[in-house]
A = this chain, B = another copy of it.
Amino acid sequence: MERNDGGFDIARDETDSLISSDKVEGTAVYGADRQKIGSIETVMLTKRGGKVAYAVLSFGGFLGLGTEQYPLPWSVLKYDTGLSGYVIGLTNEQLEAAPKYGSNDRWDWNDPATARRIDTYYNPWTSALL
């Protein structure tokens, strides 16, 4: 869960084309206005095929209480070297209307409607190049 800045050489946990999951976890996420929104909590991987299904953005709350999780398509995240974090093209208001789950919400990744809802919502901000 914690960002690992010390364990590896930079050539080992990130290159031009690769990044380690434990480096992604904990990385800050900024909105379209370049204000910090939260950070990446984890990355959801498909067991078969080994693809990144979603990065989970977490924000709000304190010490894990009251936080909300927003699953983002990987292609919505753009790394900004100046900010040392990911920038997404959404405003705060646009993000607040996105699919999310709080600590008491039901959330079922097994329901295909869940994935459809996320993909549909973020479609305008997903890079066509990815």
Contacts and interface: CB of A to CB of B under 8 A. Distances in A.
A45 interface: yes
Nearest to A2: B1
A7 B67 CA distance: 11
Contacts of A11: 107-110
B17 A48 contact: yes
Interface on chain A toward B: helix, strand, loop, or mixed SS?
mixed
A57 to B, nearest CB: 13
Nearest to A21: B21
A65 to B, nearest CB: 11
Contacts of A75: 50
Interface string A44-79: 111111111100100000001000010000110001
7 contacts: A16-B47, A19-B45, A19-B47, A20-B42, A21-B24, A21-B45, A52-B52
